[in-house]
């Protein structure tokens, strides 16, 4: 039972810790923990579904409990060309300093330098690995971008590549083209408008509560034409993948529970067989079958409680060590442009309460059959056994 408790607790800790690591890296790499858009923008993105009062929105976001940072963005499609080669590109206008505080884009640079905030319009871009591969772009290359302006005009201009992101042609940001927010607004004729604000809070698990709170605040301030969505709704495919993975992990946990149950059943059953003569003596002395039944169950319960206490101490030490030092993967895993080298555990109540409940009730349930068998012992036959 101690072994089962520790194994169960460690599996839960590593499972939640690994999911937490992936979610944190993913949200801080792209989406943020929650996003603010014009109503319906996420379902059907449009250049014209934009936001127009960044200062007012910033004041409301600043009131949000646990908020750490936020960043405005502009999105648009474009054609990127170099010499005779052309490729589709996704323009993302960002505030360099705010974006660096909110996401890990600055840490994803493979070559070149990051964008800088400036009062002047900077005609520089950071391109994704896929776009760089397709157009054979290098730091210092001049790429032509052609798109549609919000005023109906054709936008086109020449930009210098200041940096190239890590990743490969299969990364999520393979065709991304980041530029300064002011340059994007000028290029797309959007004045001071933008499409999105990405927000980071203190814990990704608080994203849904934060979204509800911010939605209420925006409605009170008269901005009921905006929607605030947590990362599970922004990245539905990624979230569904995580849910599917968790369901697979539950199957593994069920196997662990079955192993523990079989071990307990075998132990209790063997104990009863070894003490058949003693039970026969008790029955001969007048012990009622039901009393014998409860005696075995209480004995098993006592052993389970002792096992849980010992298992809690051992699993806490082990889980704490894994949460600090982690377990290195034999080979680093690349997920959409960011790399995971170590899986960490997570110290949380469920990693100890869940195994305790499962261990205790599993022990009680599997001891019912041996206890029922002891009830049916014939005193005369049992006392003849050596």
Evaluate whether residue 293 is within a structural domain. yes
Evaluate whether residue 116 is within a structural domain. yes
Evaluate whether residue 33 is within a structural domain. no
User: How confident is residue 179, by pLDDT bands cut at 50, 70 and 90?
Assistant: very high
Same domain for 126 and 249: no
Same domain for 200 and 244: no
Evaluate whether residue 30 is within a structural domain. no
Last residue of a domain, one of 180, 198, 224: 224
Please write down the HEC assignment for all residues of the chain.
CHHHHHHHHHHHHHHHHHHHHHHHHHHHHHHCCEEEEECCCCCCCCCCCCECCHHHHHHHHHCCCCEEEEEEEEEEEEEEEECCEEEEEEEEEECHHHHHHHCCHHHHEEEECCCCCCCCCCCEEEECHHHHHHHCCCCCCEEEEEEECCCCCEEEEEEEEEEEECCCCCCCCCCEEEEEHHHHHHHCCCCCCECEEEEEECCHHHHHHHHHHHHHHHHHCCCCCEEEEEHHHHCHHHHHHHHHHHHHHHHHHHHHHHHHHHHHHHHHHHHHHHCHHHHHHHHHCCCCHHHHHHHHHHHHHHHHHHHHHHHHHHHHHHHHHHHHHCEEEEEEEEECCEEEEEECCCCCCHHHHHHHHHHHHHHHHHHHHHHHHHHCCCHHHHHHCC
Q: What is the pLDDT of residue 107?
A: 85
Q: Is the pLDDT of residue 360 over 80?
A: yes
Same domain for 210 and 94: yes
Same domain for 255 and 318: yes
Same domain for 213 and 283: no
Last residue of a domain, one of 224, 252, 275: 224
Same domain for 266 and 166: no
**What's the pTM value of the predicted model, to 2 decimals?**
0.77
pLDDT digits (tens, 9 = 90+) for 184-194: 999 999 988 99
Q: What is the pLDDT of residue 386?
A: 54
Last residue of a domain, one of 224, 257, 280: 224
Same domain for 173 and 99: yes
In the chain, the number of structural domains is 2
Same domain for 163 and 305: no
Q: Which domain holds residue 263?
A: 2-20+238-384
Q: Is the pLDDT of residue 249 over 70?
A: yes
Evaluate whether residue 317 is within a structural domain. yes
Q: Is the pLDDT of residue 83 over 70?
A: yes
User: How confident is residue 315, by pLDDT bands cut at 50, 70 and 90?
Assistant: very high
């Amino acid at each position: 039972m101690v072994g089962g408790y520790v194994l169960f607790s460690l599996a839960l800790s590593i499972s939640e810790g690994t999911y937490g690591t992936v979610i944190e890296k993913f949200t801080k790499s792209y989406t943020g923990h929650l996003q603010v858009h014009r109503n319906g923008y996420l379902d059907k993105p449009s250049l014209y579904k934009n936001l127009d009062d960044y200062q007012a929105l910033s004041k409301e976001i600043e009131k949000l409990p646990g908020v750490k940072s936020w960043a405005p963005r502009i999105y648009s499609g474009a054609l990127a060309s170099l010499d005779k080669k052309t490729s589709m590109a996704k323009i993302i206008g960002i505030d360099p300093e705010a974006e660096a505080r909110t996401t890990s884009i600055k840490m994803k640079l493979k070559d070149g330098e990051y964008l800088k905030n400036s009062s002047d319009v900077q005609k520089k871009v950071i391109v994704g690995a896929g776009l760089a591969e397709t157009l054979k772009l290098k730091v210092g290359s001049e790429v032509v971008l052609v798109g549609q302006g919000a005023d109906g005009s054709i936008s086109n201009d020449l930009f210098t590549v200041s940096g190239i992101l890590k990743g490969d042609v299969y990364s999520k940001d393979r065709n991304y083209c980041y530029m300064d927010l002011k340059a994007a607004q000028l290029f797309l004729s959007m004045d001071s408008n933008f499409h999105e604000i990405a927000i980071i809070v203190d814990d990704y698990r608080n994203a849904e509560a934060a979204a509800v709170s911010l939605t209420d605040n925006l409605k009170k301030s008269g901005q009921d034409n905006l929607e605030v969505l947590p990362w599970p709704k922004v990245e539905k495919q990624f979230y569904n993948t995580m849910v599917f993975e968790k369901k697979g992990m539950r199957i593994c946990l069920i196997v662990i529970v079955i192993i523990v149950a079989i071990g307990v059943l075998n132990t209790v059953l063997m104990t009863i067989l070894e003490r058949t003569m003693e039970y026969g003596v008790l029955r001969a002395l007048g012990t009622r079958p039901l009393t014998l039944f409860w005696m075995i169950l209480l004995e098993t319960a006592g052993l389970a409680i002792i096992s849980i206490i010992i298992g809690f101490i051992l699993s806490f030490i082990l889980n704490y060590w894994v949460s600090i030092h982690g377990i290195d993967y034999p080979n680093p895993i690349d997920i959409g442009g960011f790399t995971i080298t170590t899986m960490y555990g997570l110290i949380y109540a469920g990693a100890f309460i869940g195994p305790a409940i499962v261990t205790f009730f599993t022990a009680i349930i599997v001891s019912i059959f041996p206890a029922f068998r002891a009830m049916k012992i014939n005193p005369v036959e049992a006392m003849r056994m050596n």
